[in-house]
Structure 1
């Protein structure tokens, strides 16, 4: 399985796309979040992925930089289905609030003939914390990340080698998810900025972590590989080195700070 980082930036990033990624298992594509708009299709094109081949989507929460790209995907699936140019099915999972918002947008924005695709071509599936399902042949469990601001879910997936791939959304770590993510072979965790730049970017006011915070969490969770995302983009050319230099002081595993479109073999 490959992890394809379509985007790595925070909500207002302009030098990279908003955070979203794909898990690719033998050309079975599982999209997690969609970024903030139609730029999702540019990133998919750059990654060599046809949007028509995406069959599974998970939306972590309702923020625009995670949700709106998925609305564009739904629009094209419905539009092309009505024209007879799409013959697949799209499953979109999320907690009840996310699914309700998507339903409302679709009812208001799409043509009635396109709305008729909902439930037959596009399937909106509400999930609850602790629920398991099979996505592209792999066991996935969804969990509430414990946010006190916006309801948000993460997930863990069991890989072919028995290792665990976990995504904590874009919130700082909360103890309520420890059992879900402990011992992960791969952990995706947000890191808004360097700890040394916290007085510049004010991550805690935005309910985000620093690189130091995320690395200390991963160390306490016995994580093998840590991927940091949802970052500032003020100096994108040096971000990888700056984040790595701070993070490796607090995390003893393998640390990755990806650029957009970077691919990792899991």
Structure 2
């Protein structure tokens, strides 16, 4: 299993792409979120990933920095089918609000020749809290993180000899996620900024965490590997150094602060 981080930034970044990533085993890919626009296509190209190899997508919530890139993916799939250039099938998962928006936006923004494939070869499938699916041959459980803003789901994938990867979305941890996040082999968690710069970036007003918060959480949950993303980009030239320095005070596991397009063997 390989994890490719396509984007690491929060909604308003300009020096990196919005947070999204893929998981893959061999040539089959599972993509989580799409960032805020057509740059998702460039990120995939730069990562050496063909959009045609992404057969499953999960959209965590309806914020534009996660959802709008998916419209471009839908265009690529449906247009490719309409032109006889793509004959695969694709499933996009999300909760009811996400799926409703994707259906509505597709009808409004794509052509009838393209939208005819939605429901025929491109499936927009609603999932509910606690529902399970098999993706990349592994059990994936979707769960409601009980967001304080827009309704949002995370997921937990169980893979390879009892290992598990948990994605907590882009808001601070909620106790309802404990059964999924505890003892995770890999935990992906947002860290809007350094705790030492909380006065500058005001993460708590935006319902986000700091590096300190996420690292303390990972230590309490007995997480082996912690990936921090969905960050500000004002410190991007020194982000790895600064975030690692602060995080090491609170978390003793393997702390990773990725740049866009970094990959990890799981």
TM bracket, shorter-chain basis: over 0.9
Q: Give me the whole-angstrom Cα distance separating, in 2, the residues matched to 1:118 and 1:43.
A: 25
Pairs within 5 Å for 1:221-232: 221-232=221-232
Correspondence for 2:30: 30
Distance 1:51 1:250 in 2: 38
Report the Cα distance in structure 2 between the residues aligned to 1:101 and 1:127, rounded to whole angstroms: 14
Question: Secondary structure of the residue that 2:41 maps to in structure 1?
Answer: helix
| 1:187 maps onto 2:216 in alignment | no
Moved over 6 A (4+): none
Matches within 5 A, 1:207-246: 207-246=207-246
| Corresponding position of 2:136 | 136
Mapped partners of 1:146, 1:52: distance in 2: 33
Distance in 2 of aligned mates of 1:76 and 1:168: 28
Q: Secondary structure at the match of 2:255?
A: strand
* Superposition deviation, residue 181 in structure 1: 1.2
Contact 2:24–2:136 under 8 Å retained in 1: no
Q: Deviations over 1:13-50 (max 9, x none)?
A: 11000000000111210000000000001000110011
* Contact 2:28 2:55 survives alignment (8 Å): yes
Query: Is the 8 Å Cα contact of residues 148 and 207 (structure 2) preserved in structure 1?
Result: no
Across the aligned residues of Structure 1 and Structure 2, the Cα RMSD in angstroms comes to 0.6
1:73 aligns to what? 73
1:160 is aligned to 2:160 = yes
Mapping of residues 86-101 of structure 1, within 5 Å: 86-101=86-101
Does 2:224 align with 1:247?
A: no
Look up the match of 1:196: 196
Measured in 1, the distance between the counterparts of 2:157 and 2:188 equals 12
Does 2:243 correspond to 1:262?
no
Offset at residue 148 of structure 1 (A)? 2.1
> How much has 1:115 moved relative to structure 2?
1.0
Equivalent residues, number:
266
Structure 2 unaligned blocks of 5 or more: none
Q: Which runs of 5+ in 1 are unaligned?
A: none
Does the residue aligned with 2:49 lie in a helix, a strand or coil?
coil
Q: Which residue of 2 aligns with 1:84?
A: 84
1:97-154: CA deviation from partner (whole Å, max 9, x where unpaired)? 1000000000111111111110112100100010011001010000001112210000
SS at match of 1:113: helix
* Separation of aligned partners in 1, 2:204 and 2:114: 42
Asked if 1 retains the 8 angstrom alpha-carbon contact of 2:10 and 2:192, the reply is yes
Q: Secondary structure at the match of 1:97?
A: helix
Q: 1:124 aligned to 2:138?
A: no
